[in-house]
């Protein structure tokens, strides 16, 4: 069964032929498909500029560079996220300051974020964990009051909305990933959206070795001349990846609505379960459902999460756990003196969360099989 993965990409014939077209063209990388994808993406999320790069992690790093994060600077990040969110701060020599999350949504808590601000704080990265957009109004107030920049790690939430506004236009810089588990894929790939022209320009230079003119510009001018003005990386994305991204982007509304449909079915199915609690969803958002995470009510169970996880996997329901709180990883414990007790809400949630399979190509019978199996496995461990 395809449901055995917690997520799965969707590639159709149109995607394949759009990639083949590029493979037969003159440009494999940094050709016309890159700005075409950027423009379509910016347009889709209501942002002025979009900068495409080689991964979501590269996008985060590029954003931290554009903000000028450097040694001594602090950036507030939620404990409940993928390690790359915090790592991007470290790439620039900055210090991630881990902020605890709200116990109902597991999203960064704006009140706790405000309390984490110090004279060295430069930015806050909000993560739209599971696809639920954060409380950007409160976060923007915190950012404005403290003169810091709001960044949105929207790797889970493409297609989501907050108070009618689209994800991708909610923070100064907005980060996306096109890894195959995400809503749309380019194999590997990422994007940053912003309304700030100067930041967009800095990011385009950074992704291309710190060189201040594009290959196309030089070709037009028939000139060999270029200048490296800053230390950048090769974070470029290829033209055939952007062709895939363009083709995938057209399918986004359909992919999101199917995910929302499956999530609704899960909501209904577990609403009365004494052992399973869904995460909170704020009424002002449209949830993009990258993940469907449930919390086990361990107090009423005789088995722990590990055992339930194993039993589900054995029955073909390939669940996952998102995430091990980042501050518990040995790298952060050793280098930033973090550890248990720093973010108790995230740590407590971590012991009980399970991500159920969720991908748009799951059939209704797949969904029902998962529900039945989850209820059986969990109820059989009921005390």
Ligand X SMILES: *Cc1c(COP(=O)(O)O)cnc(C)c1O
Answer yes or no whether residue 156 interacts with ligand X by CB under 6 A: yes
Candidates 18-26, 153-161, 338-346, 367-375; binding stretch for ligand X (CB under 6 A): 153-161
Going by C-alpha positions, the residue among 131, 130, 128, 132 that lies closest to residue 151 is 128
Residue placing its CB nearer to ligand X in the complex, 183 or 303: 183
Going by C-alpha positions, the residue among 130, 77, 128, 84 that lies closest to residue 295 is 130
Answer yes or no whether residue 174 interacts with ligand X by CB under 6 A: no
Candidates 2-10, 30-38, 80-88, 197-205; binding stretch for ligand X (CB under 6 A): 80-88
Do residues 53 and 30 lie in contact, with contact meaning Cβ atoms separated by under 8 Å? no
Residue placing its CB nearer to ligand X in the complex, 169 or 241: 241
Residue placing its CB nearer to ligand X in the complex, 65 or 369: 65
Going by C-alpha positions, the residue among 325, 332, 336 that lies closest to residue 100 is 325
Answer yes or no whether residue 84 interacts with ligand X by CB under 6 A: yes
Q: What angle do CA 35, 41, 43 make, to 5 degrees?
A: 100
Q: Can the peptide bond before residue 323 be classed as cis, meaning omega within 30 degrees of 0?
A: yes
Answer yes or no whether residue 3 interacts with ligand X by CB under 6 A: no
Residue placing its CB nearer to ligand X in the complex, 177 or 359: 177
Total residues at interface with ligand X (CB under 6 A): 14
Residue placing its CB nearer to ligand X in the complex, 31 or 56: 56
- The number of beta carbons lying within 10 Å of the beta carbon of residue 265 is 16
Answer yes or no whether residue 127 interacts with ligand X by CB under 6 A: yes
Answer yes or no whether residue 150 interacts with ligand X by CB under 6 A: no
Active site residue 182: yes
Answer yes or no whether residue 190 interacts with ligand X by CB under 6 A: yes
CA torsion angle 208 209 210 212 (round to 10) = -50
Answer yes or no whether residue 85 interacts with ligand X by CB under 6 A: yes
User: In the structure encoding, which two tokens stand for residue 257, read together?
Assistant: 């609505």
Q: What angle do CA 182, 186, 192 make, to 5 degrees?
A: 75
Answer yes or no whether residue 260 interacts with ligand X by CB under 6 A: no
The three state secondary structure string of 269-311 is HHCCCCCEEECCCCCCEECCCCCEEEEECHHHECCCHHHHHHH
Contacts to ligand X from residues 25-64, by CB under 6 A: 55-57
Q: Which helix (H) or strand (E) holds 14?
A: helix 13-23
Catalytic residue among 182, 295, 303, 315: 182
Answer yes or no whether residue 101 interacts with ligand X by CB under 6 A: no
Candidates 115-123, 151-159, 231-239, 372-380; binding stretch for ligand X (CB under 6 A): 151-159
Active-site amino acid positions: 182
User: Which residues of the chain form contacts with ligand X (CB under 6 A)?
Assistant: 55-57, 81-82, 84-85, 127, 153, 155-156, 177, 179, 190
């Amino acid at each position: 069964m395809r449901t055995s993965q917690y997520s799965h990409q969707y590639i159709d014939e149109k995607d394949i032929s759009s990639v083949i077209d590029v493979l037969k063209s003159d440009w494999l990388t940094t050709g016309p498909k890159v700005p075409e994808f950027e423009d379509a993406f910016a347009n889709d999320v209501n942002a002025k500029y979009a900068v495409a790069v080689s991964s979501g992690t590269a996008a985060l790093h590029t954003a931290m560079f554009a903000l000028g994060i450097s040694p001594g600077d602090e950036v507030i990040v939620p404990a409940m996220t993928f390690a790359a969110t915090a790592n991007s701060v470290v790439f620039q020599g900055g210090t991630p300051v881990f902020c605890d999350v709200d116990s109902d949504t597991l999203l960064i808590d704006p009140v706790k974020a405000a309390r984490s601000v110090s004279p060295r704080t430069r930015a806050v990265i909000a993560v739209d964990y599971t696809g639920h957009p954060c409380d950007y109004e409160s976060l923007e107030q915190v950012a404005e009051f403290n003169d810091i920049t709001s960044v949105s790690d929207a790797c889970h939430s493409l297609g989501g909305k907050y108070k009618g506004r689209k994800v991708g236009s909610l923070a100064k810089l907005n980060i996306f990933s096109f890894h195959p588990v995400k809503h749309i894929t380019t194999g590997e790939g990422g994007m940053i959206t912003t309304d700030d022209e100067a930041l967009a320009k800095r990011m385009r230079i950074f992704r291309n070795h710190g060189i201040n003119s594009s290959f196309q510009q030089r070709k037009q001018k028939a000139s060999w001349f270029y200048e490296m003005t800053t230390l950048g990386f090769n974070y470029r994305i290829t033209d055939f990846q952007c062709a895939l991204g363009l083709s995938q982007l057209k399918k986004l509304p359909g992919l999101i609505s199917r995910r929302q449909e499956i999530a609704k079915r899960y909501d209904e199915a577990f609403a009365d379960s004494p052992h399973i609690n869904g995460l909170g969803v704020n009424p002002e958002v449209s949830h993009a459902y990258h993940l469907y995470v449930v919390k086990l009510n361990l107090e009423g169970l005789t088995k722990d999460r590990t055992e339930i996880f194993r039993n589900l996997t054995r029955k073909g329901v390939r669940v996952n756990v998102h995430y091990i709180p980042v501050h518990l990883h040995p790298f952060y414990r050793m280098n930033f003196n973090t550890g248990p007790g720093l973010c108790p809400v995230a740590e407590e949630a971590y012991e009980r969360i399970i991500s159920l399979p969720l991908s748009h190509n799951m059939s209704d019978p797949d969904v029902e099989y998962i529900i039945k199996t989850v209820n059986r496995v969990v109820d059989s461990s009921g005390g």
